[in-house]
Structure 1
């Protein structure tokens, strides 16, 4: 399946029906039907965004996108496949991770040397945690 220039990340909806692929250079997110392998939509991200990582909410209703050099995270409403909101976080967020309950989103902000904790529903940064030099990834384990 062809997607935009410099694809960076892919996330499937929990039911496996659709894939969302970030395209850094095009500043787009491609929505792909996982069964037919056909493009359903290309979502333009906010001006200045460089989409990097992607995470799905547990129910698949929201797709979170880190916008790298844009310094933001956007949320896509999966029902309409459109950008529903954007929140500024630290510098150049790359890796993101969502808690299993879908309430908190963590962003690794490389050049600002910190991790932002975001209220995933309200799209507000609730805390910024200094973590050391140039964090690029973040992961959350799931209890067995």
Structure 2
């Protein structure tokens, strides 16, 4: 896995996922500005378990109160990526203009 030191620019927000605690567990999502990706961190093991590609320059990230979606803004593309936290996949991209 990639080293997070130096590549982390966005704020990590932890989200508890719906479902049983054994199946889901806590995750944190961290924008990796230089890698054009979001790291998924399993906070119970303190390790990166996945990286999700997003458009150039992710810099803002927020998880919905119910923990089901994460929204990531990308500076280089003027878009917001919508991540489904159950599958850790981008499910939509919103164009927010220049």
Deviation at 1:110, TM superposition (A): 0.5
Which of 30, 45, 57 is the equivalent residue of 1:80?
Answer: 45
CA distance in structure 1 between the partners assigned to 2:16 and 2:96 by the alignment: 27
CA contact 1:96–1:105 (8 Å) conserved in 2: yes
5 Å-filtered alignment, 1:114-125, equals 114-125=79-90
Q: Which runs of 5+ in 2 are unaligned?
A: 18-24
CA distance in structure 1 between the partners assigned to 2:34 and 2:78 by the alignment: 14
Relative contact order (alpha carbons < 8 A, sep ≥ 6): 1 or 2 greater?
2
CA distance in structure 2 between the partners assigned to 1:105 and 1:84 by the alignment: 16
Alignment deviations for residues 113-136 of structure 1 (CA, whole Å, 9 cap, x no partner): 100001112111111110022xxx
CA distance in structure 2 between the partners assigned to 1:55 and 1:90 by the alignment: 19
Q: Which runs of 5+ in 1 are unaligned?
A: 1-27, 29-43, 134-144
The runs of at least 4 aligned residues of structure 1 exceeding 4 Å deviation read none
Which residue does the alignment assign to 2:57? 92
CA distance in structure 2 between the partners assigned to 1:120 and 1:90 by the alignment: 18
Q: How many residues align?
A: 89
CA contact 1:58–1:100 (8 Å) conserved in 2: no
Deviation at 1:58, TM superposition (A): 3.6
Which residue does the alignment assign to 2:34? 69
TM-score norm. by structure 2 comes to 0.81
